[in-house]
Structure 1
Amino acid sequence: MSEVADHGRLMDDVYRYQRLFYDITRKYYLLGRDHMIANMQVHPGDRVLEVACGTGRNLAAIRKRHPRALLFGLDISDQMLISARRKLDGAARLAQADACSFDPEALFGEAEFDHIVFSYSLSMIPDWQAALDEAMRHLAPGGTLHVVDFGDQGRLPGWFKTGLRAWLARFHVAPRDTLGAAMQDMAAGAGTLTGHSLYRGYAIYGCLTR
């Protein structure tokens, strides 16, 4: 079995039952998601893709703020997509795919997107740099890449950081301490970057406009 299939099966195993109470529990520690959504400048007709869309929670929130946007979501976990389809009820086009290698035209009939979103997903994607590179390949000129994820917790007590990361590891989550630097490198050759840490480094938010 390929590494992609292995990871998809792992995510299905992790979320087979967790998806049933995922949104209720994650609101307490996936901080900054609504901050990211509130800062998205989405116009009517804009195509918005969330990579690793999970239960569809973010796409539902984007739809509420921008009802005339065209919404798309992909996830490697079929189990998560069950929840997303129920939540979105046809309001977004959803597909099972690997974040590091996907064909949006085959999946959605779209070659590129005006907004691509990563929300607490890069910390769960083994080759997260490849996922960012793949997203940039499908970002339209003038489009924006939006990212929120765990930060380095640099301004929080050491015991908190140690405990948080040990707990996250139980769910196959690993904060990417070089995420900010990686986005700066991408912006150097592809556009402009705005962003900052949130909650004393608990999370990091970035917005890269091509």
Structure 2
Amino acid sequence: MLERSAAGPDRMGARVAADAAHRMDRMYRHQRHVYDLTRKYYLLGRDGLIRDLAPAPGHRVLEIGCGTGRNLVRAARRYPAARFFGVDVSGEMLASAARGVARAGLASRIGLARADATLLDPAAVFGEPAFERVYFSYTLSMIPDWEAALDRALAAVAPGGELQIVDFGAQEGLPAAARRALRRWLALFDVTPRDRLEEHLAASAATIGATLSVTRPYRGYSQRAVLRTTC
């Protein structure tokens, strides 16, 4: 299994990345052991994203913010002819991911690396400049500079490939009191729903001539986006 670290392009960027890594390691040092058991009840739509990836044989799939590796293992089992890669800023989470991947017997098919999403250079990390599928699963809401992370991710999508996202939405279909309570609770975990996600993606799609679809299932509890680039 490939495990590497990504160097930032400048000193300031590297310092910001180190701060983010320290914050995530502190948060997940103990949570990572029960993360998958607890998150399955409210990270809605993750398995739907995996079903929609549908990579062709030989396609490369990159998860940004792979956490414990739960999604990568499920996707690799579902698509045995594709190649999978995952990055995370937290070394603690990557340790759990490495163990999970090894237990699943998928170490030869899933590469892991420590990297900050806002500084990601997949060619330097994995030797792969682009991927047919790149996805975020409930991670953009935890990345302070989420726009930069999106831009880096889109730059890593191969021509004709897809950037797919599932994350917390604006909860517009929920009662106002429920929305306020949910957001206060999410803030305890440094999670902020990205209400401008569609706007940012639409601008990016218009710039590069890509197509974009956005849905908001579960009464807006989550938002699901697919941006398809042209060949």
Give the TM interval when normalised to the shorter protein: over 0.9
Identity of aligned residues (%): 50
After superposition, the C-alpha distances for 1:90-122 in whole angstroms (9 at most, x for unaligned) are 131000001011221221111111100100000
Alignment of 1:184-195 (within 5 A): 184-190=202-208, 191-195=210-214
Counterparts of 1:20 and 1:168, CA distance in 2: 19
Q: How many residues align?
A: 210
SS in 1 for 2:119: coil
Matching residue of 1:182: 200
1:161-176 mapped onto 2 (5 Å cutoff): 161-176=179-194
Find the residue that maps to 2:118 and give its secondary structure: coil
Q: Distance in 1 between matches of 2:70 and 2:194?
A: 23
1-structure distance, mates of 2:46, 2:177:
25
Whole-Å Cα distance in 2 between the matches of residues 57 and 201 of structure 1? 24
d(CA) in 2 for partners of 1:135 and 1:196? 20
1:172 alignment partner, SS class: coil
The reply to whether residue 82 of structure 1 matches residue 95 of structure 2 is yes
Displaced runs of 4 or more, over 2 A? none
Q: CA RMSD in A?
A: 1.1
- Hey, what does 1:6 align to over in structure 2? 19
Q: Distance in 1 between matches of 2:176 and 2:41?
A: 20
Aligned 8 A contact 1:148 1:204 in 2: yes
Counterpart contact for 1:49–1:116, Cα < 8 Å? yes
Correspondence for 1:115: 133
Counterpart check, 1:72 vs 2:85: yes
Unaligned runs of 5+ in 2: 1-13
1:38 aligns with 2:51: yes
Amino acid aligned to 1:169: A
Partner of 1:206: 225
Deviation at residue 78 of structure 1 after TM alignment? 0.1
Higher mean C-alpha displacement, 140-149 vs 96-105 = 96-105
* 2:54 and 2:79 in contact (8 A); partners too: no
Report the AA paired with residue 56 of structure 2.
H
Query: Which residue is equivalent to 1:52?
Result: 65
Match of 1:130 in 2: 148
Q: Which residue number corresponds to residue 95 of structure 1?
A: 113
Provide the C-alpha distance between the structure 2 equivalents of 1:146 and 1:168, rounded to a whole number of angstroms. 22
- Equivalent position SS for 1:156: coil
Q: Distance in 1 between matches of 2:158 and 2:18?
A: 29
Alpha-carbon distance between aligned partners in 2 of 1:152 and 1:103, rounded to the nearest angstrom: 31
The answer on whether the counterparts of 1:180 and 1:204 sit within 8 Å (CA) in structure 2 is no
Provide the secondary structure at the position in 1 that maps to 2:74.
helix
Indicate the residue corresponding to 1:140 in structure 2: 158
**Partner letter of residue 35 of structure 1?**
G
Correspondence for 2:31:
18
5+ residue gaps in structure 1? none
